[in-house]
Chains A and B, each alone.
Chain A
Amino acid sequence: MSRIPAIVGVGRTRFGEHYERPPEKLMEEAWLRASEEAGIERKDLQAAYVADYFLPITNKLGLEEGFLSELTELHVQMEITRSFSSALSNACNAIQAGRYDLVLVGGMEKMTDRWDKIRDDLMLLEDPWSYYAGCTPEANHELMLRAYVKKYGIKGSELEKFNTALAHIAVKNHKHALKNEYAQYRREIRVEDVLKQRKNARRPLGLYDFAPISDGASAVVLASSEVAEKYTDKPVYVLGFASATDYITFPSREDLTHFLVSRICMENALKMAGVSRKDIHHVELYDQSTLMEMVSLEDLGFASEGKAWINIYESCQDYQGYYEIAGKRLYVNTNGGLKADGNPLGATGGAQVFEIFKQLRDEAGERQIEPPSEPFYACSLELEGFGTKGYVYIFGREPR
């Protein structure tokens, strides 16, 4: 691969409620921070790939590209996609193909304005047939949990341990978010709190198992490897990326316990990057629920099937900042994950890349993980819908 996409600057807003600011203002803030880091001006951009999951529905926006053009006075190619990872893959393709050398990849979402309707919109987009049958955005996660517990025969005291392990995921992510100045929730929670919320809800997963509804934006300046060093000494390279799709109707899928798309994406991304799974030390998973984080560890091959919860349970007995799986350290969701960092759908993937960029450049401050002695690779997973679409990225400090 002669031209490798390289990230030269990142920026984001705090995630959470931004009552007073319209979505395009959030995008502007993220872009300004990223451009400052990269030392570029907007006129340097040759194209923009921006994601929002459903702004035209939630905010009755017109063509988002028009808003962005008005804001930036740019008249370049702009493409709107549904997730940050999808925007990033378009941008990577364009750079690899040699079409552009410097592009903006962004993501924004404004979800809090319409809280009373948003769950209907979310569900309808996620899976119409399930929506018509009465599904909620939470229910599919719970069904997957029920299917998982059944498939692996988790019962009795094991089930208790399993449930506690899931609770630990939320607790761990909140702990990470304490050190993240952009995170939506910067407070500690306890395992008892998570369990209590489940009990109150009379459901397998409770309020503290799910990522919140958030506003926010994120931006990345992506350059070709040929020009990247003009902007920074320490670019972060996108070594591998892959995407896959699956049925929109979750109940119709063959496997109800895992996400097929994650598995396919991981295999293909690793192959493209020429990186071995064991060299990946840091992953940003798409934890829309605690269950999703656990299942994704298995889907990406970091934990063996039906066993991730045991690794999590054991790692969290005296949590050191990472999961220990088969004697290897794996840092997961160091920004607090979707659970605590926030989940403004279109911008979420950008926050994952933001975190990886900072970690790989040793600039994550308090959150900085101990870089391994061997090559340092990181990986991100983003899903659209309930595992209907997946994206995996492999990042590294060196081009290959």
Chain B
Amino acid sequence: MSSEPIERRVSYVGDRLRGCRCSLCGREYFDIRDYCGSCGRKSYGKMVPIDLFFEKGKLEICTFINNPTNKFTPLGCYVYGIVSFHDGKIRIPGRLTDKIWKEGEEVDLSSLEGREVVPRFRRRYSVEKSEIIPTISLTFTFADEYYPYQEYRVMKPNKEYEKPGIVGYGAYVSKFRIKEAFMERSVPFIDEDAITAAVEAGKLALIHSGVDSALIGKVYVGSESNPYAVKPIASKVAQVLKLGEEDTSGGVQFVDAVDTEFACKAATSMFKDAASLVYYPNSHVDYAMVIGADNSQAAPRGSPGGELDFFVGYGGCAFIFGKNDVIAEIEGWCSCTSDTPDFWRRDGEPFPRHGGRFTGDPAYFKHIAKAARKIMEKMRLEPKDIRYFVSHQPNLRFPTRIAKQLGFKEEQYMPGLQVANFGNTYSGASPIGLAAVLDVAKPEERILVVSYGSGAGSDAYVFITTQQLPEKRNRQKFTLKYQAENPYVEHVDYATYRKLKLGMGEN
């Protein structure tokens, strides 16, 4: 049932939470209408689109669902209710997400009613493996819990820079974690996947940058856990976040959207492309967005490749590149590549395999060291000239060892080392490290980021932060420190973690 045109229409309206308002009587509707029911024909052409995606609503009334319809069965129990926006002018149905109800747990509906909620972007329900994956933002979480409400305000740029750089960023990891030994790792809720993480990260980046989404001319999404073998994540991101100019008559966005793949460097590889694109005057692209997002895949423990199951996380990170109000300029870059099959996943296989010890020495360490040394040599930099060093972080040992090998000290590499908080987020790993550094860096500090993608290659970038970095910080509450130390984080056991990670009954 999900492949019909209705699927396209539902995701067009429901993914973004769109509605419209009659400019004659002010009545508001969820869904797109050509004319107002009250005003009739004279309102034709006078309906103004309204957008609830970046707003917060109120959970008016709710009930507990522990006997869902078939397609919702994998979600287990959840709270469902009516959410209102604009003081009750629009009321829509909504599902509360990000909550695991325990067997027999008391449900006090009146304690939930009346609270503010934020729309979240999630899978709508489970479908067969071969079907289109439906998504929706009629899913909500409480505005005062793990994911705070943040206003998206488009800001007029103040300053144009010579060199392009990062204008804004957003990192998203889920509320759920598994804690084992030294590591805490983020675990997607059952309705999350690489697509939803990419959208969440992109949304946070827009909020942080204050950039008008219509000015973003290209979006790259790097992932190795796209639930589709063929069909980009980037198209979903572009449509949901309304990137590029919106074509109101035909339902397209005037934006270029593309997915990239190179194991864990799929996103970082595109930093230079994004920067070059915004730098080239004839491209007419003011801003470009790069997202790395993964529901990092790992076979269960005990089966081939199962070692990864101790390290994988879930999350996404988005950067917006441009020349206005830059917070970190790109000073230079250097990439290296060799055909080193240290980690791979064949088409149709659910989990990746790896070459064991081989993933370390001739792979990770070699490529990161080569790229890092080359760029430092080219730019005549010593480790002491660099305030922060961020590398790909599949575990704690690898990035620590490479940092020391390259001559960096703890205070240089620890701020960007986030793997112990969120696990290895694959394409999102080094970007999340960079975001964590930008969360704390001061102006005029140099950052060296070196990613690593199996297969194999590394991208090294040197950024230098600008005076505008601190002033943009108050636009983003949802920092990595906030996500790591959030009191609403919920820890799950191994069995729950596997269940959540596999998602809505597809694998």
CA distance A134 to B83 in the complex (A): 13
Q: Is B82 a contact of A119 with CB atoms below 8 Å?
A: no
Q: Which residues of B contact A138 (CB under 8 A)?
A: 67
Q: Digitize A185-209: 1 where CB-to-B-CB distance is under 8 Å, 0 elsewhere.
A: 0000000000000000111100000
Q: Is A131 a contact of B69 with CB atoms below 8 Å?
A: yes
Q: Is A67 an interface residue (CB 8 A)?
A: no
Q: Which residues of B contact A132 (CB under 8 A)?
A: 10, 14, 93, 124-125, 134, 136, 138
Q: Is B93 a contact of A251 with CB atoms below 8 Å?
A: yes
> A202 with B66: in contact, given A133-B92, A147-B61 (CB under 8 Å)?
yes
Q: Is B64 a contact of A133 with CB atoms below 8 Å?
A: no
CA distance A203 to B94 in the complex (A): 17
CA distance A142 to B94 in the complex (A): 14
Q: Is A252 an interface residue (CB 8 A)?
A: yes
Question: Which stretch from B70-78, B149-157, B368-376 is at the chain A interface?
Answer: B70-78
Q: Is B323 an interface residue (CB 8 A)?
A: no
Shortest distance in angstroms between A216's beta carbon and chain B's nearest beta carbon? 23
Q: Is A129 a contact of B93 with CB atoms below 8 Å?
A: yes
CA distance A4 to B416 in the complex (A): 83
Q: Is B30 a contact of A252 with CB atoms below 8 Å?
A: yes
Q: Is A135 a contact of B80 with CB atoms below 8 Å?
A: yes
CA distance A129 to B138 in the complex (A): 9
Closest partner residue, chain B, to A204 (CB atom): B63
Q: Which residues of A contact B75 (CB under 8 A)?
A: 134
Q: Is B61 a contact of A146 with CB atoms below 8 Å?
A: yes
Q: A-side interface residues toward B, CB under 8 Å?
A: 116-117, 119-120, 123, 127-139, 142-143, 146-147, 150, 201-204, 249-252, 256
> A143 with B82: in contact, given A133-B136, A202-B107, A251-B91 (CB under 8 Å)?
yes
Q: Is B81 a contact of A252 with CB atoms below 8 Å?
A: no
Q: Is A134 a contact of B68 with CB atoms below 8 Å?
A: yes
Q: Which residues of B contact A250 (CB under 8 A)?
A: 93
Q: Is A251 a contact of B92 with CB atoms below 8 Å?
A: yes
Q: Which 7 A-B pairs have the closest CB atoms?
A: A134-B95, A142-B63, A133-B93, A133-B138, A130-B93, A146-B61, A251-B82
A-B contact pairs, 16 of them (CB 8 A): A128-B10, A129-B93, A132-B10, A132-B124, A133-B92, A133-B94, A134-B75, A134-B78, A142-B63, A143-B62, A202-B64, A202-B66, A202-B106, A203-B107, A251-B83, A251-B93
Shortest distance in angstroms between A118's beta carbon and chain B's nearest beta carbon? 9
Q: Which residues of A contact B55 (CB under 8 A)?
A: none
Shortest distance in angstroms between B238's beta carbon and chain A's nearest beta carbon? 22
The one of B72, B107, B113 that contacts A134, using a Cβ cutoff of 8 Å? B72
Q: Which residues of A contact B60 (CB under 8 A)?
A: 147
Q: Is A139 a contact of B63 with CB atoms below 8 Å?
A: yes
> A201 with B66: in contact, given A133-B138, A249-B93, A251-B92 (CB under 8 Å)?
yes
Q: How large is the interface on B (under 10, 10 to 19, 20 to 34, 35 or more residues)?
A: 35 or more
CA distance A302 to B214 in the complex (A): 57
Q: Digitize B77-100: 1 where CB-to-A-CB distance is under 8 Å, 0 elsewhere.
A: 010111100000011111100000
Q: Is B109 a contact of A204 with CB atoms below 8 Å?
A: yes
CA distance A142 to B14 in the complex (A): 24
Closest partner residue, chain A, to B96 (CB atom): A134
Q: Which residues of B contact A146 (CB under 8 A)?
A: 61-63, 109, 113
Shortest distance in angstroms between B259's beta carbon and chain A's nearest beta carbon? 26
Of listed B14, B61, B69, B125, residue having the most chain A CB within 10 A: B69
CA distance A173 to B89 in the complex (A): 39
Q: Which residues of B contact A136 (CB under 8 A)?
A: 65, 67-69, 72, 80
Shortest distance in angstroms between B148's beta carbon and chain A's nearest beta carbon? 22
Q: Is B30 a contact of A120 with CB atoms below 8 Å?
A: no
Q: Which residues of A contact B68 (CB under 8 A)?
A: 134, 136
Closest partner residue, chain B, to A131 (CB atom): B69
The one of B10, B71, B92 that contacts A120, using a Cβ cutoff of 8 Å? B71
Q: Is A129 a contact of B92 with CB atoms below 8 Å?
A: yes
Shortest distance in angstroms between B53's beta carbon and chain A's nearest beta carbon? 15
Q: Is A139 a contact of B65 with CB atoms below 8 Å?
A: yes
Q: Which residues of B contact A123 (CB under 8 A)?
A: 69
Q: Which residues of B contact A256 (CB under 8 A)?
A: 61, 82
Given A251-B83, A252-B90: 4 more A-B contacts, CB < 8 Å: A132-B134, A133-B93, A133-B139, A146-B109
> A150 with B61: in contact, given A132-B138, A201-B66 (CB under 8 Å)?
yes
Shortest distance in angstroms between B456's beta carbon and chain A's nearest beta carbon? 42
CA distance A133 to B78 in the complex (A): 11
CA distance A141 to B58 in the complex (A): 20
CA distance A202 to B106 in the complex (A): 7
Closest partner residue, chain A, to B101 (CB atom): A202
